[in-house]
Structure 1
């Protein structure tokens, strides 16, 4: 039975991916900061291990790694949990050093630290690391500075770690989605025209089934590719 660890599984794309993998027989370890919300998100799913906590907390990361260690393998690690930084979004001139550091801890440093903890299980299973990125990592959008820099750092750090450790790693831009985070970024806009997070899952699964070389990819480029059900992903 393949094993996945997906951070931020209580909402959005993380939740959709947890449900997709669980339905196909995967064991999934996932987390979220709100225990009640996390429990509701995975209610009724088989072989899903919810671990409430904040990925920025070293003790919580150790808890996640412990669950993976008990399972003995890790076929897929998805770094989905992230933060926009201080809200409402603001120009960099109004952003403090603490704002930057807190954002980068969640968006870049914590994923690297968590990956390091589960490297033995990833290697044992020939697993894959997916870092959910953003077009903000390569474009320049006003007021998105802390988040954009965090995602750019995440791309570089995870891909570099893959080279260093011999693990397949992907930085994946999922595109715009109708999520609470996206609404937080545009509090006065109607975002109902954005696609639901679940619509991105088939593209991610197709990318993972194709297993191209490590690198940065756009989910949209894999949206029309067939996915092999049950393929190592």
Structure 2
């Protein structure tokens, strides 16, 4: 069975994606900082497997801790390897969010540590397993290249991966004709935010961390052409993270995290090329950004 490692999987988008993968027969390594909610999630995930109980290793801890990261990767190895790494765990840097004039610097350091440094450190440790994954190439048997769910779409997902998507930036001018990157190993899914690209008041610290994650992901995609690297803006969601960020906002009308999962699965099912995507809160919704 394929193996996924998902951080921040006790609730929200991480838990919803883990449930979808378990339902497809994936084995999982999941983490969260709180042991109780994580074990509760793991029990339900074990019962979601196709035909037999999914193997789920739940390791509570902080992704900012090097020993915890090493244990996560080791657990994936014991399950047989690693085919998908999902960097979903995140912190805001201030709760509730504040303007940059009041942004606590220790909070900004924490946001950078969890949203940027920890994902890279986990990727570095997981690369040997991801490079030898054969899960995504198995799609070649059923989906010939160019005939996946992204080909021929008006949103441009059928085209070659552009390693410099923001061509209006003078530094990247003329570089958008990069050849397509054909991954032969596993996949990395980094959960980003529209705050990485849009200047929303009070979202400056968190947005800066996610913008750094985006750039880091883009460079990784160029340096590791054998992998697929996706950095995805999941859009507005009704999560505890959002409630902590803007506690006075009425989030009852925002979509639940599960509505984003079909868009993420489309990336996996279509073996989508590396790039930045936006997962719309509608079944199957996904578009390149």
TM-score tier, shorter chain, comes to: over 0.9
Mark the structure with the bigger radius of gyration. Answer: 2
Q: How many residues of Structure 1 are paired with residues of Structure 2 in the alignment?
A: 226
The 5-angstrom pairing of residues 121-140 of structure 1 reads: 121-125=129-133, 126-140=185-199
Report the Cα offset of residue 162 of structure 1. 2.5
The 5-angstrom pairing of residues 27-106 of structure 1 reads: 27-44=27-44, 45=46, 46-106=54-114
Equivalent-residue separation in structure 2 for 1:223 and 1:135 (angstroms):
20
Report the Cα offset of residue 65 of structure 1. 1.2
Gaps of 5+ in 1: 227-233
Q: Tell me what 2:20 maps to.
A: 20
User: TM-score scaled to structure 1, two decimals?
Assistant: 0.92
Q: Secondary structure at the match of 2:231?
A: strand
1:174 aligns with 2:174: no
Report the Cα offset of residue 79 of structure 1. 0.6
Equivalent-residue separation in structure 2 for 1:73 and 1:163 (angstroms):
23
**Larger relative helix fraction:** 1
The answer on whether the counterparts of 2:91 and 2:110 sit within 8 Å (CA) in structure 1 is no
Equivalent-residue separation in structure 2 for 1:13 and 1:200 (angstroms):
8
Q: Secondary structure at the match of 1:118?
A: helix
Q: CA RMSD in A?
A: 1.6
Equivalent-residue separation in structure 2 for 1:162 and 1:26 (angstroms):
24
Gaps of 5+ in 2: 47-53, 134-184
The answer on whether the counterparts of 1:2 and 1:27 sit within 8 Å (CA) in structure 2 is yes
What whole-Å deviation, never above 9, does each CA across 1:182-220 have from its counterpart, x for those lacking one? 111221122111111111111110122122221101112
User: TM-score scaled to structure 2, two decimals?
Assistant: 0.75
The answer on whether the counterparts of 1:204 and 1:222 sit within 8 Å (CA) in structure 2 is no
Report the Cα offset of residue 136 of structure 1. 0.4
The answer on whether the counterparts of 2:64 and 2:113 sit within 8 Å (CA) in structure 1 is yes
- Structure 1 residues 225, 147: closer, same or farther in 2, change over 3 A? closer
Equivalent-residue separation in structure 2 for 1:138 and 1:189 (angstroms):
22
Q: Tell me what 1:231 maps to.
A: none
Report the Cα offset of residue 95 of structure 1. 1.8
Equivalent-residue separation in structure 1 for 2:21 and 2:123 (angstroms):
20
